[in-house]
Amino acid sequence: MMISLLDDFLAAGPLIAGQLRASLPEKVFVLESKELAAITEQQQPVPAVHVLFRGFSPKSANAAWEEVELRWATVVVVRNVASLPSPASSELDAGPLMSRVIAALRPWVPAIDGAGPLHLDTPLGPAFKAGFGYYPIGWKFTARIPARPKR
């Protein structure tokens, strides 16, 4: 079933999370932004992939539709306290998981009316805190939003 961005502009988030849950090993926690609000760093499960909305940009429009580019991020989270404060050891765990995330989402197309496939986008930089390594992967895709019929 296709979803319209007119009904849920953030519909890609649960779809991306679902694709990752279906493609990644069961031991990897896939968390959406609504679930992240309740997690503190002490409660952060690992390994994990967070799915976050990064914004959108209008691209083109006519009387029938408007095309937008939606940006999302998947953030791979790993923990390895053996190397504190260096991130080197967590990179060893993050790299293979990042590759699996990319394989799961490229060139996947979310079930959204008028959507194209996900493409890699410039991510935010990695972060390291309290033994956790956070490795963002940027994503973008275009979708057409239909104009509502006039009444």
* CATH at 120: 3.30.2000.10
Residue 5 located in a structural domain: no
Backbone angles phi, psi at 94, to 5 degrees: -70, -40
Domain span holding position 18? 12-145
What is the count of structural domains for the chain? 1
pLDDT at residue 130 in the model: 82
Residue 18 located in a structural domain: yes
| DSSP code of residue 115 | B
Residue 3 located in a structural domain: no
* Helix spans in the chain (H): 12-23, 33-36, 88-105
- Average pLDDT of the chain? 88
Contact (Cβ atoms closer than 8 angstroms) between residue 104 and residue 23: yes
Average pLDDT over residues 111-125: 96
Residue 7 located in a structural domain: no
Contact (Cβ atoms closer than 8 angstroms) between residue 142 and residue 69: yes
Strand duo 119-121 + 29-32: pairing: unpaired
Residue 31 located in a structural domain: yes
Query: Identity (one letter) of the amino acid at 102?
Result: I
Q: Tell me: the pLDDT tens digits for 40-99?
A: 666 788 999 999 999 999 999 998 999 999 999 999 999 865 555 555 555 558 999 999
pLDDT at residue 84 in the model: 53
